[in-house]
Amino acid sequence: MSRFHHPPPEAFELTRMLHALSDPVRLEVVRSLAANGEQTCAALDGDRPKSTMSHHFRVLRDSGLVETRGERTAHMNRLRREEVEARFPGLLDAVLRPESVGR
Amino acid sequence: MSRFHHPPPEAFELTRMLHALSDPVRLEVVRSLAANGEQTCAALDGDRPKSTMSHHFRVLRDSGLVETRGERTAHMNRLRREEVEARFPGLLDAVLRPESVGR
DNA sequence: TTGCTTGTTCGAAAATGATCGAACAAGCCG
DNA sequence: CGGCTTGTTCGATCATTTTCGAACAAGCAA
C-alpha cells in the first residue's frame, strides 16, 4: 500500500514530464530503470545524499514517470513505461535511445 | 548574417533541450513554428513583453530547437526540424503529437 | 529491546530561471 | 533627418529548484 501519490495517465502533463526528464540525475535514474528494471532507491543514488534522491524520486513520481511501491523497508521503483507510452507516445523511446545519450 | 549563436547538432544536449521544451510558453512557440512554419518574434509573442519573449527565444536557440535569421529588422524564426530529428530521433514528433497537447 | 538499514520530511541556503521595464540598436518609411 | 517598428540587452525582482544535514519512522535481525 503505497503512501505516495501516483497520478493516472490522463493527469500526466507534458511540460511537467519534460521538466522531470530535464535533470541529469533524474534522466540517469529513468535510464537505469529502463535498462535494469525495478530497483530500490539505494541502488539508484549515485552516492548522492538520500534526501536529495528522495526529492528527485518525488519529482519523478509526480510527473508520472515512476511508481514507487512502499512495500517493506526498501522501496521499489518502477518506470511506468506503458502508462507514459499511452499518454505521450514515442516520448520515452526518444529519450532512451542510445544515440541520444552522451552529452 | 545572424548575430546569434546556433549550436551544431553534435553539440545539442538532451537535458538542455528537454528543459527548453518544458516551459509552456516555449512549447507553444515550438508548436506554432511546427504548424505554421517560419514566423517573426512578433507573431509569436502572446501579448507578452518583448524582453520576456527575447529571453525564451534565446533559450530555444541555445538548445538547438530554433534558428533565428537576423535579416532585416524583423527576425525570422525557424524550427530546426531536421537537425533535431537527426540528433534526437522521435523527440520532436512525440512532443508535437496532437494527443500530447492539452494539459 | 537495541541497533542497523532504508527512505521520508523538514528547514535552510544557494543556484537557477522567469518576468518585465527601461534603455539601446538598426532597418525602414515618409 | 525624424519617427515608427522590431528585437536585444541590462538590471532588478520574484518564484521555483536543487542540495543537503538533521530528525524521524518503520522494518528487520540478533
Q: What is the pLDDT of residue B102?
A: 63
Q: How confident is the model at residue B2 (pLDDT cuts 50, 70, 90)?
A: low
Q: For B32-57, what is the mean pLDDT?
A: 96
Residue A75 approaches strand C within 7 Å at CB: yes
Interface residue B59 vs chain A (CB under 8 A): no
Using DSSP, how many helices (H) and how many strands (E) does chain A show?
A: 6, 3
Residue A2 approaches strand C within 7 Å at CB: no
- What percent of chain A lies above the pLDDT cut of 70? 96
Residues of A in contact with B7 (CB under 8 A): none
Q: What is the pLDDT of residue A102?
A: 63
Q: For B64-74, what is the mean pLDDT?
A: 89
Residue A69 approaches strand C within 7 Å at CB: no
CA distance A26 to A24: 6
Residues of A in contact with B98 (CB under 8 A): none
* DSSP assignments along chain B, one per residue: ---S----GGG--HHHHHHHHTSHHHHHHHHHHHHH-SEEHHHH-SS--HHHHHHHHHHHHHHTSEEEE--SSSPEEEE-HHHHHHHSTTHHHHHH-GGG---
Spell out the domains of chain B, with CATH numbers in brackets: 10-90 (1.10.10.10)
Arithmetic mean of pLDDT over chain A: 94
Cα-Cα-Cα-Cα torsion B91, B92, B93, B96, nearest 10 degrees, comes to: 130
Q: For A64-73, what is the mean pLDDT?
A: 90
CA distance B32 to B38: 9
**pLDDT tens digits, one per residue of A73-89:** 899 999 999 999 999 99
CA distance B70 to B28: 22
CA of A83 to C1' of D1 (A): 65
Q: In sequence order, which residues have a C-beta less than 8 Å from that of residue B86 and are 6 or more positions away?
A: B9
**pLDDT tens digits, one per residue of B5-25:** 999 999 999 999 999 999 999
Q: In sequence order, which residues have a C-beta less than 8 Å from that of residue B35 and are 6 or more positions away?
A: none
- What percent of chain A lies above the pLDDT cut of 90? 85
Residue B55 has pLDDT above 70, yes or no: yes
CA of B43 to C1' of D21 (A): 49
Residue A3 approaches strand C within 7 Å at CB: yes
- Of all residues in chain A, the one with the smallest CA distance to B87 is A100
